[in-house]
Amino acid sequence: MTRLRWGMVGGGPGAFIGGVHRRAAGLTGQYELVAGAFSGDAQRSRDFGQMLGMDPDRSSGSWETLLERELALPEEQRIQGVSIVTPNHMHYPVARAFAQANIAVVCDKPLVHTSEQAADLMRIVAQTGQLFAVTYNYTGYPMVRQARDLVRSGVLGEIRKVQVLYNQGWLTTRLEGQGNPQADWRTDPQRSGIAGAIGDIGSHAENLVATVTGLTLEAICADLTTFVPGRALDDDASLLLRFQGGARGLLAVSQIACGLENDLSLQVFGTRGSLCWQQEHPNHLDLYPLEGPQQRWTRGNPAVSPAAQAASHVPAGHPEGFTEAFGNLYRGVAETLLARQEGRTPDPQIAQFPTLEDGARGVHFIEKTVESARSEHKWTDALWQSPVSPALPNRS
Ligand SMILES: NC(=O)c1ccc[n+]([C@@H]2O[C@H](COP(=O)([O-])OP(=O)(O)OC[C@H]3O[C@@H](n4cnc5c(N)ncnc54)[C@H](O)[C@@H]3O)[C@@H](O)[C@H]2O)c1
């Protein structure tokens, strides 16, 4: 099997999501991690690269040096793509430089700090045509793809209401400043951006709704709260949403939901049926038709849609989870890049991943939420329009 030569920025010792990206890419068997700037510290980055079995000359404490060295290599040795898994403030400069160098990018969320930065990336990618993915990883769950395909099939009728909740409790107390690096940067506006919980997990909720329902968000009425004294950013958010066509929504996220872990759930209510999916029980999806009995759809069952089948890797009843769903995004990226390389059409059931457009819309959502929360009248126009014309293709 041909493997893609890959690099990573961030994700060094003690990091959270970098290791998930490596394991997720590893599940596909389609990537070889050959270069990295895993930490801003040269020795730590080098040691970490060696621990991963990499050539010491291809790990660096500086992403600029990493890029420079890679560009000096012959094309057939150079990395073909990079994963950006640093705190949020680093996403933009790193993504910009690698995208400009025509290297494929897989960037974690939220994409960047501002819509201007997002538009800049979109203009670069519109010119190069290079792949750019954003890891809204919940969209990689087979039963999320099944939910999307059920909505598309029309079985729910016209969507009237959407409810998405994401409750975590890990920031119930003031963890920042106490040796928890993940809490430190997430609560620091310089590194996290203008939002706390709404940027960190609200952006996932927004993307989940958009992916499953296909609805276009029109307006937001937001209430952002900081419960923990001394914290600079929101740790709790309650939003009302209005969509084009008349559907309404409720989006609530919290990082002070004491005792809760990753309690993400989505409910979609239509004129002919409703559905419910829960991230902590991701292998099934409940469907409530207007007529007839309630149905539980299970991952791996032959009745699920082709995309849900393609995203499933072991027989029904053997649980799959977070890492496999993440791996489905990497599989989609690899399928797209390898198809280009081999001059063939990618398999549409596999080549699925959130794009730069999703990332840019997520940044807009965060900005509009904060704008609404700060405004007197609350209801704020939130319609996103692509800054590039023609719009980027849905699959980069
Ligand atoms: N998709 C998801 O489910 C998910 C989950 C968690 C985090 N994230 C996102 O992933 C990113 C990282 O989050 P995390 O929780 O893993 O953070 P983390 O603090 O655990 O890890 C960040 C890593 O970046 C490295 N880093 C910092 N500055 C660097 C530099 N200049 N050069 C090279 N490396 C540098 C750190 O050394 C560390 O290894 C964030 O954007 C976050 O929003 C996404």
Let me know whether 233 and 361 are in one domain. Answer: yes
pLDDT of 45: 97
Let me know whether 167 and 75 are in one domain. Answer: no
- Determine the residue type at 225: T
Confidence of residue 376 (pLDDT cuts 50, 70, 90): confident
Let me know whether 302 and 175 are in one domain. Answer: yes
Let me know whether 111 and 158 are in one domain. Answer: no
Let me know whether 264 and 301 are in one domain. Answer: yes
Identify which of 86, 89, 207 to mutate to test ligand 1's pocket (most ligand atoms within 8 A of the CB).
86
Ligand 1 atom showing the smallest separation from residue 182 Cα: 19
Cβ of residue 146 lying under 6 Å from some atom of ligand 1 = no
Residue 324 within a domain: no
* Å from CA of 90 to ligand 1 middle: 9
Ligand 1 atom showing the smallest separation from residue 12 Cα: 39
pLDDT of 392: 79
pLDDT of 396: 39
* Structural domains counted in the chain: 2
Average pLDDT along the chain: 97
Residue 152 within a domain: yes
Confidence of residue 393 (pLDDT cuts 50, 70, 90): low
User: What CA–CA distance (Å, rounded) separates 136 from 353?
Assistant: 8
* Å from CA of 153 to ligand 1 middle: 38
Host domain of residue 176? 141-314+356-380
Cβ of residue 202 lying under 6 Å from some atom of ligand 1 = no
Residue bearing the CA closest to ligand 1, atom 30: 40
Residue 390 within a domain: no
Tell which of 111, 137, 163 closes a domain.
Answer: 137
Residue 372 within a domain: yes
Let me know whether 287 and 171 are in one domain. Answer: yes
Ligand 1 atom showing the smallest separation from residue 138 Cα: 3
Least confident of 1-5, 38-42, 176-180, 344-348: 1-5
Residue 320 within a domain: no
Cβ of residue 10 lying under 6 Å from some atom of ligand 1 = yes
Q: What is the CATH number of the domain that holds 79?
A: 3.40.50.720
Let me know whether 184 and 309 are in one domain. Answer: yes
Residue 46 within a domain: yes
Residue range 179-203, pLDDT digits in tens:
999 999 999 999 999 999 999 999 9
Residue range 266-321, pLDDT digits in tens:
999 999 999 999 999 999 999 999 999 999 999 999 999 999 999 999 999 999 99
User: What CA–CA distance (Å, rounded) separates 196 from 202?
Assistant: 9
* Å from CA of 300 to ligand 1 middle: 32
Q: What is the CATH number of the domain that holds 308?
A: 3.30.360.10
pLDDT of 394: 57
Q: How far is CA 148 from CA 77, 200, 249, 358, in A?
A: 39, 23, 17, 16
* Å from CA of 279 to ligand 1 middle: 22
Task: Judge whether residue 390 has pLDDT over 80.
Answer: no
Tell which of 78, 110, 137 closes a domain.
Answer: 137
